[in-house]
Amino acid sequence: MSTSETTSSQPTQASPMAEFPLGVIEPEYELWGEVDVDPAGLFDQENIPAEDRDYWDRARRFGLDEVRPEIDDYWDRADYPFHLATRLGELDLLRDGIDVDGYPAMSTLAAGLVNMELSRADGSVATIGAVQSGLALRSVAYCGSEEQIAHWVPKLARAEVLGAFALTEPTHGSDSVSLETRATRVDGGYVLNGEKKWIGNGSTGGITVVWARDDEGNVRGFIVQQEWEGYTGTTIEGKLSLRAIWQAHIRLENVFVPDSHVMPGANSFKDTAKVLFATRLGVAWSAVGHAMACYESAVQYATQRTQFGRPLAAAQVVQERLARMHSELATMQLMVMQMTRREERGELTGAQASLAKYTCTRTARQIASNARDLLGGNGILLKNRVARHFADIEAIHTYEGTETVQALIIGRSITGLSAFNK
């Protein structure tokens, strides 16, 4: 018998590392851990009143305990988390600073902190809240009759009914003032005909605040119940951003709206703009929340990921990147805090609201891009958080007025000249 035969016939003792080959084992990164996301100390205890901090803490716990465990699955399947929308109402996180009978006061700062924290958890959930409260509920609260406010506003605040805001049309986005949906006067109400696009909550079975042009050419507001004949809300598929909120393409075909559902305070596009103005700063707060999420994931990953025999965080280039993100985050936070103070004093101008959105969404994009790159290949995995925020920031950068529109508003305030096309 040859030596080779003898050797091959003997049982081979397995290496203790055979079942765990070198180069294969990768740790599970904890990217939701606590990181200092307040570079300038703006959110210190003395700067946030206790009642505002209570709203913030509630939103934070909701994000960590209820959104975090399951949002990646909903986002991946482009499914709507109805139970999370209901929880927003149960936790009193759906008022966006609007007074509602039977509820305690909610300040502009508290509303901003809630927007920030919900976005820090997930952009889709934050957008559900922003559409429900900032747009639908605010439209009724600002423009509705006493009866409409008493009937619909509490239901929207509790998420007993989901609400949508239908302004944008397939051919009128940035120039929404040129909307073409028609409202024809008939006995007992109006008949609506037209189409709307990108309408959050527009296919969830609740109500839709529809903006349409009447026989005299004035823009009017209507509370449309989505089950009414002639209303069709088709969920838009194939989205790369905000995948866990349904946005609809709406078709209105001879939808009869009784006078009881016509909002008496919505008689021109100025009334529409009043609602939109109030939400612009909220989008800036949302951008801060997304940026915080990307920043804290980048810091966590850099300290946990080892390359070339040391943590990424020990590399000079990585520390420079984190310092840049740190600085950018502080800039955003300072911006929204200052603009919120102005709004609470009634001093916020349209150009300042645009400056906040313009600055914060642009800067959030930079932070998200840097964080995604710092995570390398792991940066595109949903479980590592950054990719979802990276994609969702693209949506907030566009909605409530694109970067270009905000720039033209700011430019007009600087020069005194309008560059909007006539």
β-bridge mates for residue 168, sequence order? none
Backbone phi, psi, residue 159, to 5°:
60, 25
Q: How high is the pLDDT of residue 8? A: 43
The C-alpha atoms of residue 378 and residue 310 are separated, in whole angstroms, by 18
Written as one string, the DSSP assignment of 307-342 is ETTEEGGGSHHHHHHHHHHHHHHHHHHHHHHHHHHH
The C-alpha atoms of residue 134 and residue 399 are separated, in whole angstroms, by 13
The C-alpha atoms of residue 380 and residue 391 are separated, in whole angstroms, by 10
> Domains in the chain, start-ordered, CATH in brackets?
45-158 (1.10.540.10), 163-267 (2.40.110.10), 270-415 (1.20.140.10)
The C-alpha atoms of residue 77 and residue 80 are separated, in whole angstroms, by 9
Element (H, E) at 141: helix 138-143
The C-alpha atoms of residue 248 and residue 169 are separated, in whole angstroms, by 11
Decide if 131 contacts 102 (C-beta within 8 A). no
Structure tokens at 282: 């909220």
Q: How high is the pLDDT of residue 157? A: 97
Backbone phi, psi, residue 368, to 5°:
-65, -40
Q: How far is CA 395 from CA 347, 361, 388, in A?
A: 28, 10, 11
Buried b (16+ CB within 10 A) or exposed e, 204-215: bebbbbbbbbbe
Decide if 228 contacts 200 (C-beta within 8 A). no
Q: How high is the pLDDT of residue 53? A: 97
SS3 for 212? strand
pLDDT by residue for the chain (422 residues), tens only, comes to 444 444 444 444 544 545 656 666 788 888 887 899 999 999 998 899 999 999 999 999 999 999 999 999 999 999 999 999 999 999 999 999 999 999 999 999 999 999 999 999 999 999 999 999 999 999 999 999 999 999 999 999 999 999 999 999 999 988 888 899 999 999 999 999 999 999 999 999 999 999 999 999 999 999 999 999 999 999 999 999 999 999 999 999 999 999 999 999 999 999 999 999 889 999 999 999 999 999 999 999 999 999 999 999 999 999 999 999 999 999 999 999 999 999 999 999 999 999 999 999 999 999 999 999 999 999 999 999 999 999 999 999 988 888 888 999 999 999 999 998 65
**Can you say how many angstroms the Cα of residue 319 is from the centroid of all Cα atoms in its chain?**
29
Expressed in angstroms, the distance from the first to the final Cα of the chain is 97
Structure tokens at 58: 């509630």
Written as one string, the DSSP assignment of 25-84 is --PPP--SS-----TT-TTSGGGS-HHHHHHHHHHHHHIIIIITTTHHHHHHHT---HHH
Backbone phi, psi, residue 116, to 5°:
-60, -50
The C-alpha atoms of residue 232 and residue 417 are separated, in whole angstroms, by 41
SS3 for 249? strand
HSE on the CB side for 42, CA within 13 Å?
Answer: 19
Cβ count near 180 (within 10 Å)? 13
Confidence (pTM): 0.92
Name residue, tokens 């999370």: 84
Using CB atoms within 10 Å of the CB of residue 123, give its burial: 0 to 12 exposed, 13 to 18 middle, 19+ buried. Answer: buried
Tell me the residue ranges of DSSP E strands in 67-188.
163-166, 182-186
SS3 for 222? strand
Decide if 249 contacts 238 (C-beta within 8 A). no
The C-alpha atoms of residue 178 and residue 285 are separated, in whole angstroms, by 28
